[in-house]
């Protein structure tokens, strides 16, 4: 724990932060691993403490763990906190991984001008200089379909050899009218990394948000009363396992055959069927083990409840 800016709530607070990896293959989205981020303020020697690790270091450790297990993703999706970290991007490229990540609007890039000169500029300045016709509409199909406007540009970044493609994605057809502008970077081949590909591919990160929404809302991800490292890790792993278990039943129909009267197409439907099964099995056990129940209820009443 340590006071830091949290994008989810838009202010500085004293949260517990985790770094996680997730697998999405177009049909299912699964949480893989997590590490707790310990803020320097919470450690005895601050940033010099041997236990202090920056978030990109934790992320690389999780990626390495996935690679050792045989998971080699076709694309790694990362947010701007990692996309802005050049060392992190270099490490991904050393592992021959393709990535697509967010960038901050003040990130400086080198671009070739019409006079064939290399000019350094901020991303937001670059975006504002592009002609309106550079941006093309792209349909994004999430919970609610929406249209965004995107343009791609080849640029150079310091400490990275060669050029990379960036995309500027806006919620309006012109820069001056846009109220929401995102910047993305990829090392995927230029013929593949079109504006439409970048927008639709990065939109798959929404499945991570779906996981957190369902894990917090239905599995108590944020409902804990522990503070030490081991207990927190155990809590999060239990939630990860429960989420994967419920998702497995959605995909295989395991609970549907006996415990539901309708298809289990949503996380909540499958969870409710699981609760029904557990309740039935407990009552069934209780009917055959009343003596065990009543002999222990005084000392284990809270556990039974």
| Residue 104 forms part of a structural domain | yes
| Residue 297 forms part of a structural domain | yes
Strands 4-6 and 11-13: antiparallel
8 A C-beta contact, residue 2 and residue 42: yes
| Residue 284 forms part of a structural domain | yes
Last residue of a domain, one of 201, 227, 250: 201
Strands 181-186 and 136-140: unpaired
Which residues have CB under 8 Å from 202's CB, separation 6+? 77, 100, 102, 184
Last residue of a domain, one of 167, 201, 235: 201
Same domain for 69 and 129: no
Same domain for 193 and 122: yes
What are the tens digits of pLDDT across the range 17-63?
A: 889 999 999 888 999 999 988 877 777 787 888 888 899 999 999 99
Percentage of residues in the chain with pLDDT exceeding 90?
A: 59
Residue 252 domain boundaries: 219-304
Same domain for 130 and 228: no
| Residue 64 forms part of a structural domain | yes
Domain count across the chain = 3
Please report the pLDDT score of residue 14 as a whole number.
66
What are the tens digits of pLDDT across the range 147-199?
A: 999 999 999 998 888 899 999 999 999 999 999 999 999 999 888 999 999 99
What are the tens digits of pLDDT across the range 200-218?
A: 999 999 999 999 999 999 9
């Amino acid at each position: 724990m340590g006071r830091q800016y949290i994008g989810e709530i838009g202010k500085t607070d004293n949260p517990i932060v985790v770094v996680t990896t997730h697998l999405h293959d177009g049909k299912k989205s699964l949480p893989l691993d997590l590490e707790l981020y310990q803020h320097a303020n919470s450690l005895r020697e601050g940033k010099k403490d041997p236990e202090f690790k920056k978030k990109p270091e934790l992320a690389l450790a999780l990626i390495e763990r996935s690679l050792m297990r045989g998971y080699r993703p076709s694309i790694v999706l990362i947010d701007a906190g990692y996309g802005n970290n050049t060392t992190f991007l270099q490490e991904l490229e050393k592992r021959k991984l393709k990535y697509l990540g967010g960038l901050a609007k003040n990130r400086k890039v080198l671009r070739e001008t019409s006079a064939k000169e290399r000019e350094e500029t901020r991303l937001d300045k670059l975006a504002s200089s592009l002609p309106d016709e550079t941006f093309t509409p792209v349909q994004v199909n999430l919970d609610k379909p929406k249209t965004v406007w995107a343009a791609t540009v080849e640029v150079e970044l310091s400490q990275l050899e060669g050029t990379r493609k960036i995309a500027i994605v806006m919620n309006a057809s012109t820069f001056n009218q846009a109220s929401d502008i995102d910047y993305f970077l990829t090392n995927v081949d230029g013929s593949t990394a079109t504006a439409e590909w970048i927008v639709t591919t990065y939109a798959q990160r929404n499945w991570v948000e779906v996981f957190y929404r369902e894990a917090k809302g239905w599995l108590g991800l944020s409902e804990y009363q522990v503070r030490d490292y081991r207990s927190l890790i155990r809590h999060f792993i239990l939630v990860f396992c429960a989420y994967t278990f419920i998702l497995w039943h959605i995909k295989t129909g395991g609970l549907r055959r006996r415990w539901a009267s309708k298809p289990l197409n949503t996380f909540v439907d499958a969870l409710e069927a699981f609760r029904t099964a557990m309740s039935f099995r407990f009552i069934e056990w209780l009917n055959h083990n009343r003596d065990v129940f009543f002999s222990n209820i005084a000392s284990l009443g809270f556990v039974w409840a």
